């Protein structure tokens, strides 16, 4: 037990130090729009099942998708969960192809019981990621040999540090809430230059939005037991929308290599918001051996404003289905306890380009949960293939292969020793 706790402490410091220096896990051109690529709740085990979570109740894992699920934890258990991901993405627009590789620390969470009917969770995870660098070249139709090069680049994103509480007021009903501190910088830069004409005036514009705000998630789960082997759970999550506090500025630089450059900076406060989010899910469990579930998520991004633009986004929806199978929970061999997972999802992202919905997204996933010998801890490995299809031929298509590795320490820390 002591060695396991020491390993856990070392792992916590390793994950936290990695999250401080972690780079954004995307090179997607779509992250030029809005807050970037949104990160759904979900650990490595959930991602192996297509990302479902609203109706999941599992005493072996932390389910941050629905805070009502925290009460599923055993009264003697302390859990710690952390994950990293590796991905390779192919970008194409019909004429050009490009590959990009990324890695990142995804999440770090912990959970424990406060009483028989109450459990607590805390952790840190991303809300969104920005990472892109694109260049376009345009020839001057009036001057032979003259052309301009425009570069669009961006980085940053939002992070959330949450504290959650789950309560079980009745035997089959649980409710819960997460309150999150939401913060981060959104950095977007546009640069135009004239490589063939040193006297032409180039310019650079950098927009930086520094956000500090909050986020609230409210959840509930109801479980109905048909008999000893059959159970169904329905889960609901609501996250109210609101405007975000920010301290932002726009910096412009104008000039040439011969004449020098002039710089002007304007401080501003943008009107920016996050939407009302509604999620509903259901799972069916057979004999603690088979879990089948489905989730539906709707986010009203079309009703929010981004950088003073009230028409920046489209409504986002996502439908996910998934399953998990354990060969024999009461078996004695190691292979009896391995968890096998599959899932898929279809999503309409919130990106809008020139008044049009930019893309649609489809993903399939598979995963495996490997128990650590002589413990309740698990290593979860999931693989996802994600296809993002641009709504027009001029928009980018993306094919992503992502591997997520999560480690869940599930330790019984609260035994009371009795001396006879």
**C-alpha dist (Å) from residue 290 to 65, 173, 293, 326:** 20, 22, 10, 6
Q: Are 49 and 365 in contact (CB under 8 A)?
A: yes
pLDDT value of position 2: 42
Q: Could you please report the per-residue DSSP string of 108-124?
A: EEEEEEEETTEEEEEEE
Rounded CA gap, 283 and 234, in Å? Answer: 7
What is residue 419's three-state secondary structure?
coil
First to last CA, the chain: 22
Q: Are 321 and 50 in contact (CB under 8 A)?
A: yes
pTM of the predicted model, to two decimals? 0.89
Which portions of the chain are predicted below pLDDT 70?
A: 1-25, 95, 140-145, 198-199, 256-259, 412-420
Structure tokens at 336: 């009896």
In which residue are the tokens 């032979």 written? 144
pLDDT digits (tens, 9 = 90+) for 64-80: 999 999 999 877 788 99
Beta bridge partners of 370: 379
Residue 339: which H helix or E strand, with range? strand 339-348
Rounded CA gap, 373 and 382, in Å? Answer: 20
pLDDT value of position 12: 52
Q: Where are the domains of the chain?
A: 2-412
- Domain 2-412 of CATH type 2.40.160.60: yes
Q: Are 404 and 382 in contact (CB under 8 A)?
A: yes
pLDDT value of position 60: 87
Q: Are 72 and 64 in contact (CB under 8 A)?
A: no
pLDDT value of position 400: 95
pLDDT value of position 142: 62
- Closest of 88, 84, 111, 113 to residue 15, by C-alpha: 84
Report the sign of the C-alpha dihedral through residues 211, 241, 130, 254, in that order.
negative
- Closest of 370, 381, 318, 326 to residue 344, by C-alpha: 318
- Closest of 152, 156, 155 to residue 190, by C-alpha: 152
Rounded CA gap, 155 and 166, in Å? Answer: 35
Query: Burial code of 366-383, b = ≥16 C-beta within 10 A, e = fewer?
Result: bbbbebeeeebbbebbbe
pLDDT digits (tens, 9 = 90+) for 188-205: 999 988 877 766 778 899
CA 118 to chain centre: 26
Backbone dihedral angles phi then psi of residue 42, each to the nearest 5 degrees: 145, 130
């Amino acid at each position: 037990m002591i060695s396991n706790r020491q390993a856990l402490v070392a792992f916590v410091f390793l994950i936290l130090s990695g999250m401080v220096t972690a780079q954004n896990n995307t090179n997607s051109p779509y992250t030029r729009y809005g807050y970037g690529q949104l990160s759904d709740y979900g650990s490595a085990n959930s991602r192996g099942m297509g990302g479902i979570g609203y109706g999941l109740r599992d005493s072996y894992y932390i389910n941050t998708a629905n805070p009502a699920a925290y009460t599923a934890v055993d009264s003697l258990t302390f859990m710690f969960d952390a994950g990293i991901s590796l991905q390779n993405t192919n970008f194409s627009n019909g004429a050009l192809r490009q590959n990009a590789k990324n890695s990142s620390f995804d999440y770090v969470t912990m959970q424990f019981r406060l009483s028989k009917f109450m459990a607590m969770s805390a952790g840190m995870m991303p809300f969104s990621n920005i990472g892109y660098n694109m260049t376009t070249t345009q020839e001057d139709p009036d001057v032979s040999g003259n052309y301009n090069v425009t570069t669009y680049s961006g980085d940053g994103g939002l992070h959330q540090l949450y504290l959650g509480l789950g309560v079980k007021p009745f035997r089959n009903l649980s409710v819960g809430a997460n309150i999150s501190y939401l913060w981060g910088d959104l950095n977007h830069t546009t640069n135009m230059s004239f490589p063939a004409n040193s006297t032409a005036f180039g310019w650079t514009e950098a927009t930086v939005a520094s956000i500090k705000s909050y986020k609230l998630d409210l959840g509930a789960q109801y479980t109905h037991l048909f008999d000893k082997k059959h159970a169904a759970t329905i889960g609901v999550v609501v996250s109210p929308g609101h405007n975000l506090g920010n301290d932002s500025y726009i910096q412009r630089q104008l000039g040439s290599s011969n004449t020098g450059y002039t710089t002007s900076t304007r401080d501003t406060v943008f009107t920016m918001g996050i939407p009302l989010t509604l999620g509903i899910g259901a799972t069916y469990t057979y004999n603690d051996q088979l879990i089948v579930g489905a989730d539906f998520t709707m986010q009203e991004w079309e009703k929010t404003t981004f950088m003073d633009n009230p028409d920046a986004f489209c409504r986002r929806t996502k439908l996910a289905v998934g399953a998990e199978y354990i060969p024999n929970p009461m078996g004695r061999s190691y292979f009896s306890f391995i968890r096998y997972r599959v899932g898929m999802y279809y999503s309409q992202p919130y990106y809008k380009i020139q008044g049009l919905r930019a893309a649609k997204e489809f993903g399939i996933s598979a995963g495996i949960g490997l128990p650590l010998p002589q413990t309740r801890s698990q290593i979860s490995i999931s693989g996802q293939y994600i296809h993002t299809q641009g709504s027009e031929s001029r928009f980018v298509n993306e094919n992503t292969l992502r591997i997520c590795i999560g480690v869940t320490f599930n330790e019984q820390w609260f035994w009371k020793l009795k001396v006879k």
